[in-house]
Amino acid sequence: MAGDSVAQNELAIRYLLGRGIAQNYDQAARWLQEAAAGGVVSAQYNLGVLYDSGRGVEADPVEALIWFHSAAEKGHGRAQYALAAAYAAGRGIERDSDMALKWLRRAAEENILEAQSSLANILATSPVSPDSLTDAYYWYRLADANGDSKAADRAELVAARLTPAERADVNRRVSAFIAANITAKRPRITPSVSPAPPAPPAPPAPPVSAPRAPNASPAGTQNATARAESNAKTIGRIQTLLMSVGFDPGPATGSLNAKTHDAIRDYQRALGLDIDGQPSKSLLSHLRQISGLRK
């Protein structure tokens, strides 16, 4: 196995999850070190998580930052999100709000739901440019498309402060992003899995003073129909990815069943996520990102 970075990463995953082998964070960290040094991007992110949490290695925020940065530069969305959190909190590096915003935006562009929601909140409440409100509306719309249950209402509050032309321009951008990053995305399976990412700083509260515009959000019926049509595809992709990392959801038919719910719960429990056993676009995004997947 010496020099085989992919095999080293696969072994690290088995130790991380205890799949077919006793869970052992020390051994996971050892093999992640090898795989990360060999250039496996998801291993670099996972190793950063271990250094950040102190599992299998002594907690070291500076070392965590090094590995997050390495993976983030290569386009790993969750590493970019973790890096934004580190800059925002001053964890392992001097606090820098500009760098935090830069990496938060990069993570949002990689379709990380939490980054999209946080970035929208920041832009809506603390404008950084004349385009902040239109950008906030854009990211709220995308967060809504990715499953943020609060994003649609927040988008309406921001939309009330935009012109019809601004809203129309955002709608075109949203449609293009969804077509390229959500609807048309196809998984490329790379066997890898990580612990849960470090928690980001709490985002600012969304705007509450603007009046609600009854017809401001175009999400409405069209979005509801699109979600219903894509639901089976989302479930099927989740089932495929669960199987790839060692959780058996049954056949990837796109239909929910007790076995799929159980596999989702097992996955959420193993990775330290909130356990509800439900498929969602945020779960799909998490599965893709921790597997080192891109668009």
- Looking at residue 213, its pLDDT comes to 32
Cα–Cα dist 217/156, whole Å:
5
* 54-to-26, 32, 236 alpha-carbon distances in Å: 10, 14, 35
- Looking at residue 287, its pLDDT comes to 73
Model pTM above 0.85: no
Positions of the chain with pLDDT lower than 50, given as ranges: 186-223, 291-295
- Looking at residue 113, its pLDDT comes to 94
Cβ distance 197 to 114 under 8 Å? no
Q: Which two tokens stand for residue 48?
A: 């950063």
- Looking at residue 242, its pLDDT comes to 82
pLDDT tens per residue across span 124-171 = 998 778 899 999 999 999 999 999 999 999 999 999 999 999 999 999
Q: Which residues contact 246 (CB under 8 A, 6 or more apart)?
A: 13, 14, 17, 19, 20, 193
pLDDT tens per residue across span 57-81 = 999 999 999 999 999 999 999 999 9
- Looking at residue 132, its pLDDT comes to 93
List the domain boundaries for the chain.
Answer: 5-290
- Looking at residue 199, its pLDDT comes to 41
Task: Count the alpha carbons within 13 Å of 291 in the hemisphere toward its beta carbon.
Answer: 23
- Looking at residue 233, its pLDDT comes to 85
Cα–Cα dist 25/285, whole Å:
25
Q: Which CATH number fits domain 5-290: 1.10.1040.20, 3.40.50.970, 1.25.40.10, 2.70.98.30?
A: 1.25.40.10
- Looking at residue 227, its pLDDT comes to 56
